[in-house]
Structure 1
Amino acid sequence: MKIVIIEPLGIEKESVEKISQENLSEHEIIYYDTRVTDEAALIERAKEAEILVVANLPLNRNVLSACPHLKLISVAFTGIDHLDVDYCKEKNIMICNSVGYSTVAVTEEVFGMIIGLYRQLLASDERTRHQQTKEGLNLLEMAGKTIGVVGAGEIGQRVMKIALAFDLKVLCYSRTKRMIQGVEFVDLDTLMKESDIITLHIPSTPATHHLIDADKIALMKKEAILINTARGTIVDSEALAAALNNNKIAGAGIDVFEMEPPIPVEHPLLNAKNTILAPHIGFATKEALVKRAYVVFENIKKYLAGDPQNIC
């Protein structure tokens, strides 16, 4: 089989080669360790592939239709909204993702953002560097507050587990209710109204597009903060920025936007008050990227053995 890794996987090339050879030594593997976005260049890289490995590089119908031998896309990512899934269905191209690799990494970023906002770490750093004091800073503790977790997948569940250790009351909204000790499942409006901290852990789908819109944000407490490490399209950025700038809510931690970084200078959240912004790095710890590489090639190995896993 001809396997093409169409973009870098975020770890050393030698590590990619070692992990791939451990699983797929009898197959032809081509690794492109530079990222390109030009459609013609992507087609040139992918056109002979029977199996493609991609991270978050968008692959549209034009690119995929130029790959007549393509049978499998192993995605080094959890979400697959950057692929033309409809085309893959039409052509019976299987898609497998790398679910689980970033559970620890994203969860830790969530609590980093919460602590950063509650303890005003960015403002504290700025004040210290300019010979100022703590005067005027409104510092908070998590203990005793209510956290609302939207989504009860692997990351959502880990967030809830750690939240309980921080002595937070935990609410959850999910289409699928689970029995999780210490967690109360509620409808989304109740979660938005009662939570001091709201954190999102759901995929990007037509049903979740702008799920957190102006009406939902208007339900939030004035002292509440919103954390989004899931997908940018889940939140109406214009509405969120307006709520922040008008002091309707207290803050936001945002790792994901409607597009991949770099974020355009006119994006509303870049000028919103009381925010911690990150360029989509929640998943990108050294440890997580190594885990991801193992999952990617294990997906291919399982597919070739007739026992595919992580099918989307």
Structure 2
Amino acid sequence: MKIVMLEPLAVSEEVINDLSKGLKDQGHELIVYDSVTNDVEELKTRAKGADALIIANNPLPGEVIKSVDELKFISVAFTGVDHVDLKACSEKGVKVSNAAGYSNQSVAELVIGMIISKLRNIVECNEVIREGKTKDGLVGYELAGKTVGIVGTGAIGLRVAKLLKAFGCKLLGNNNSPSKEGEDLGIEYVSLDELLKASDIVTLHTPLTEATTHLINSENIKLLKPTALLVNCARGPVVDIEAVATALKEKKFAGAAIDVFEIEPPLATDHVLFGAESALLTPHIAFATAESMVKRAGITFDNIYTWMDGKQINTIL
């Protein structure tokens, strides 16, 4: 079979060689591209003749999928798959698996880091010390004892909950159905409105679906405490970014920490959040650690091997 990796997986050539050794030993062909392209014609050229494709977060439109007659399987080295035309895959009978779970720890650690950074004014402290100033006006807050609302208690939400519990936080949760593991961690499940009203910190961990698009919007954002912090390391469109920016500028709540946006960075220089001084912004790095990249590559190749054995894991389609 011919397997084509359409973009790099942010791991060394040695890791790829090790993971793909079994494919080569079995006589399969692996073609690896070391650059990302959004050019549809270039993607068609790269994918030509492939039985299976490996991608990360490079958009894969239906036009490309339909152009590859031999295509039977796509292994997505990412948790979300909204950048893949699943309708085209379904129509063509192409199976799709993702790499769920590879970055749970990495994302959870960034969430905690962002929260502490905001509570303790770390970015501001770095600036004032370099300007020869003192800590005046930069008294922070402890994380211990804070009420944290976790919207979405899947694997990442629960990992965040475990870390927050260690800090001594009170945990509220909102999910389609309460999680037994979440309840065992001490999460009290409440409605979204109740969670927004009661939380000192709200952290979002929902997948992006039609129902969760703009889950946080111009109406319910009014429920946040004036002292509240909103964290989004889930998916960009889960929040109405215009509503968040407006509320921050009007000081309706205290601050936000955002790692995901409506489009992938780089953002336009006039992006609406750049005018919100109380927003801590990072360029979609929650998943990006050396450890998680190796994990991700391993899952991605496991998907290929398992599919070749006539089975499928991490099934999306």
Task: Place the TM-score, normalised by the shorter chain, in its bin.
Answer: over 0.9
- Tell me which residue corresponds to 2:175: 174
Work out the percentage of aligned pairs sharing the same amino acid.
46
Q: Would you say the 8 A contact 2:104–2:156 is kept in 1?
A: yes
1:131 maps to what in 2?
Answer: 132
Amino acid in the other structure paired with 1:184: E
TM-score relative to the length of structure 2: 0.96
- 2:66 and 2:92 in contact (8 A); partners too: no
User: Is residue 3 of structure 1 aligned with residue 8 of structure 2?
Assistant: no
Matches within 5 A, 1:193-232: 193-232=197-236
Structure 2 CA distance for aligned equivalents of residues 20 and 172 of structure 1: 41
Deviates more, 1:98-107 or 1:23-32: 23-32
Are residues 163 and 24 of structure 1, via their aligned partners in 2, closer, same or farther at CA, if it must alter by over 3 Å? Answer: farther
SS in 2 for 1:126: helix
Deviation of 1:13 after TM superposition, in Å, equals 2.0
Q: Distance in 2 between matches of 1:156 and 1:70?
A: 35
Q: Distance in 2 between matches of 1:178 and 1:210?
A: 23
- Contact 1:23 1:298 (C-alpha < 8 Å) held by counterparts: no
Q: Secondary structure at the match of 2:310?
A: coil
Q: Distance in 1 between matches of 2:191 and 2:123?
A: 33
Which deviates more, 9-18 or 156-165? 9-18
Residues 207-286 of structure 1: matches in 2 within 5 Å?
207-286=211-290
| TM-score, with structure 1 as normaliser | 0.98
- Between the two proteins, the alignment pairs up a number of residues equal to 312
> Distance between the aligned counterparts of 1:256 and 1:290, measured in 2?
22
Point out where structure 1 has 5 or more consecutive residues left out of the alignment: none
Between the aligned partners of 2:131 and 2:22, the Cα distance in structure 1 is: 53
State the Cα distance separating 1:272 from its structure 2 match. 1.1
Q: Name the residue aligned to 1:288.
A: 292
Determine if contact 1:51/1:71 at 8 Å carries over to the other structure.
Answer: yes
Query: Residue 28 of structure 1 corresponds to which residue in structure 2?
Result: 29
Q: CA deviation at 1:23?
A: 5.6
Aligned to 1:37: 38
Q: Offset of 1:12 from its aligned partner?
A: 1.3
Deviations 1:11-47 (A, max 9, x none): 1122212212146632110000111111111111012
RMSD between aligned alpha carbons?
Answer: 1.0
